[in-house]
Amino acid sequence: MKYAVLVVLACAPVWSQAITPRLPDALDAQLKRIFLKNDFDAKTFRQARWVESGAAYTTLEGAGGEDDSKPGPRDIVRYDTATGQRSILVAASALKVDADAAPLSIRDYTWSADGQRLLIFTNTKRVWRQNTRGDYWVWERGSGALRKLGGAVAPSSLMFAKFSPDGGRVAYVHDNNIYVEDLRTGAATQLTSDGSATTINGTSDWVYEEEFAVRDGFRWSPDGKSIAYWQFDTTGVGEFTLINNTDGLYPKLIRIPYPKSGTKNSAVRVGVVPAKGGPTKWMEVPGDSREQYIARIEWSPDSKQVALQHLNRQQNRNDLLLADAATGQTQRAFRDEDQAWVDVVDDFHWVDGGGQFTWLSERGGWRQAWIVSRDGQSSRAVTPVGADVVRFLRLDDQEQWIYYIASPDNATQRYLWRMRLNGQGKPERLTPANQPGTHSYSIAPNGRWAFHTWSSFDRPPLTELVSLPEHKPVRTLEDNAELRKAVAATLENRSEFFEVKGANGVAMSGWMIKPRGFDASKKYPVLVHVYGEPAGTTVNDVWSGNREMFHRALAEAGYLVVSFDNRGTPAPKGRAWRKVVYGEVGVASAEDQTAALRALMAERPYIDPERTAVWGWSGGGSNTLNLMFRSPDVYKTGMSVAPVPDQELYDTIYQERYMGVPQTNKPGYERGSPIYFAEGLKGNLLIVHGTGDDNVHYQGLERLINRLVQLGKPFDMMAYPNRSHGIYEGEGTSYHVYSLLARYLWQHVPAGGQ
């Protein structure tokens, strides 16, 4: 019997396109320069430490180390601040374990208060997002002796080592317990013994570290006799399982306690333990330890009390509690509250020897610096209404000044100001008027000097030493001359800042980068870069590094690239601007971003309304989804990286701060979450995520995929195995991510003026 054979050759339908076509050679070459060759990385004046109250500073100089791309020995060099006289304080050769060993590779270093000992952090390992575990060594300036802390403790297992105030001891964390090691005798005293997988002493659980930046979870008392520390009990907290499929024959499961919105938090408390050992005295903080947060702890100058910032779970109330270190009894010194949320105060300083303290509050409608008496009976605003304090830099108690960062006239910029501590007179701007852009400062302990870094959107950073308060340049520390030369042709004055109307006519700040050879008589495609959440802004007159170079590369290829800051972003525009989004994060941003793009297209006829795209990462990825789903006739192509499609899947501290708990605000969570609007998708959508993301879980993407499949909506996606939220691990990953975004844009939004 004979059979006929039918051979079917599978082929793609005529309407199918490759997801990632080849990029033009020039654009691809530029992306490789940015993300593979690092041709446009700015040099920073880092690892500088003020010593001798500011009369001198030290830096690392040499071929490389843990923070540099090239390994090699580095000297610790001292500079006289006033004269610039240079001397090698610690030669790299002095940091050898033995004669044949390589010098220690320095990740970080700290001087003791008297400058006689050096604490070196090396051989570091990543914990969550930060390299916080490793080896610590102490170098003795007098004898030149070098020895490792921890004795027989396993390598790379110590965390957060800190000198005692007198420099004679070091406290550190090992296996969730706190130790103090005497540098004279080498004897180590274990202060806590109950540390375990669920009981965490001296550091934090995941969500505190991520949202409150509580990492080094203990504080020496000023007299060196006691240590105050956080303790977390993660028992009963929901565990999230990450699956690592790439590092073995079988999957590796990584479980982390991760409280999602509305679920059980860790129990947290603060204890004080004698530095020589003994029982812990627990501070008597009122309320359920799982329904509150202790976000900051600070000692009083007399070492008798511990100041605790105590927030309720809703985070609309922050009480400063003063706890007696000996008895544990607490009393409330101050309460800051808001109908939306209050912020943790990082810029807390004692005034008048501990009789008063500084506080940042929005109680007057703007973020102002306040002075509050220790007994809480009096408080007064120092800085004026109408100008937000962005950051509190320094308190000069003797001269009665406060130094802070603000920008009353332009929310995209940052400048140094000072104000009399009594609140009298007018604020004085110290940053020169002829230096528009963003300025940051590291002020010396004596207040006479500062490391000053200045950049703008079109100007790579310049770091110099200045004298204060006259802001007189003393010497240049890093001018980035090579980078300025490398980017000169790319910049060519093709960017601009502007204001545009958002929803309800609200003025929004924005920027635009135009293509080379721009012709206003033609129409160009537009790419919107969005973030839009309460954690950050995108419209900043500052050098932004590789991401902005990515945007400039796309502009070079023929795209208009724009960005807007909507209501709810933390721009210094007053409390009402920032907190209007309370309970509905995602709603106002979608309204404002859409209204802003519509208004810009109406004002500027060279924007092609048929070639529109939007992209963002994290919260920006969420807003990209919201815009594609809610305004499909405006945004034709979207690229969403690491989004949160459903806000109930994110962590308690961040999401509940701005939304409340889902049990009482279910409608708000649904109004703000993109997944509930997926039926609106019409255009091209690319979603990118790392499967090892311990922050914004891949779980959310899978739920969104199910919803889009259910709705019959076509989309594209890319999963990066075992990458975290930043999707950067592994050789070539960053280039691959950004070239993927560029290829998707190139395919679906034709470039160039028409």
**Position 250 pLDDT exceeds 50:** yes
Burial 169-206 (b: 16+ CB within 10 A, else e): bbbbbbebbbbbbebeeeebbebbeebeeebbbbbbbb
pLDDT, position 130: 85
> Can you tell me whether residue 242 is helix, strand or coil?
strand
The predicted model gives 107-136 an average pLDDT of 91
**Position 753 pLDDT exceeds 80:** yes
Q: What is the CA radius of gyration of the chain?
A: 27
pLDDT, position 13: 35
The predicted model gives 613-624 an average pLDDT of 98
pLDDT, tens digit, 9 for 90 and up, residues 291-349 = 999 999 999 999 999 999 999 999 999 999 999 999 999 999 999 999 999 999 998 99
> Can you tell me whether residue 32 is helix, strand or coil?
helix
Q: CA 249, CA 247: separation in Å to the nearest integer?
A: 7
Q: Please report which confidence band the pLDDT of residue 502 belongs to, taking 50, 70 and 90 as the band edges.
A: confident
Q: At what angle do helices 587-603 and 619-630 cross, to 10 degrees?
A: 70
pLDDT, position 428: 97
Within 10 A of 20 (CB to CB), how many other CB atoms are there? 17
Q: What are phi and psi of 688, to 5 degrees?
A: -125, 135
Within 10 A of 531 (CB to CB), how many other CB atoms are there? 24
pLDDT, position 14: 35
Higher-scoring residue by pLDDT: 209, 701: 701
pLDDT, tens digit, 9 for 90 and up, residues 12-65 = 333 334 455 789 999 999 999 999 999 999 999 878 999 999 999 999 998 655
pLDDT, position 8: 42
Nearest to 463 by CA among 75, 59, 51: 59
pLDDT, position 702: 98
**Position 615 pLDDT exceeds 60:** yes
Q: Distances from the Cα of 691 to the Cαs of 241, 422, 557, 726, in angstroms?
A: 11, 53, 31, 11
Q: Please report which confidence band the pLDDT of residue 451 belongs to, taking 50, 70 and 90 as the band edges.
A: very high
pLDDT, tens digit, 9 for 90 and up, residues 633-650 = 999 999 999 999 999 999
Q: Please report which confidence band the pLDDT of residue 137 belongs to, taking 50, 70 and 90 as the band edges.
A: very high
Higher-scoring residue by pLDDT: 210, 416: 416
pLDDT, position 2: 43
**Position 128 pLDDT exceeds 70:** yes
Q: CA 127, CA 159: separation in Å to the nearest integer?
A: 10
Q: CA 659, CA 583: separation in Å to the nearest integer?
A: 4
pLDDT, position 65: 52
Contacts of 404 (CB under 8 A, 6+ apart): 369, 383, 389, 390, 391, 392, 393, 416, 417, 418, 419
| Residues above pLDDT 90, as percent of the chain | 88
CB–CB of 107/137 below 8 Å?
no
> Can you tell me whether residue 747 is helix, strand or coil?
helix
Nearest to 209 by CA among 537, 660, 691, 695: 695
Nearest to 519 by CA among 494, 488, 549, 490: 494
Q: What is the DSSP string of 516-581?
A: TT--TTS-EEEEEE---STT--S--SS--THHHHHHHHHHHTT-EEEEE--TTS--SS-HHHHHTT
Q: pTM of the entire structure?
A: 0.94
pLDDT, tens digit, 9 for 90 and up, residues 386-406 = 999 999 999 998 889 999 999
Q: CA 418, CA 354: separation in Å to the nearest integer?
A: 22
**Position 129 pLDDT exceeds 90:** no
pLDDT, position 6: 40
pLDDT, tens digit, 9 for 90 and up, residues 71-105 = 567 899 999 999 999 999 999 999 998 888 889 99
**Position 744 pLDDT exceeds 50:** yes
> Can you tell me whether residue 140 is helix, strand or coil?
strand
CB–CB of 645/700 below 8 Å?
yes
Q: What is the DSSP string of 364-414?
A: TSS-EEEEEETTSS-EEE-SPTTS---EEEEEETTTTEEEEEE-TT-TT-B
Q: Please report which confidence band the pLDDT of residue 449 belongs to, taking 50, 70 and 90 as the band edges.
A: very high
Q: Please report which confidence band the pLDDT of residue 9 belongs to, taking 50, 70 and 90 as the band edges.
A: very low
Average pLDDT of the residues of the chain: 94
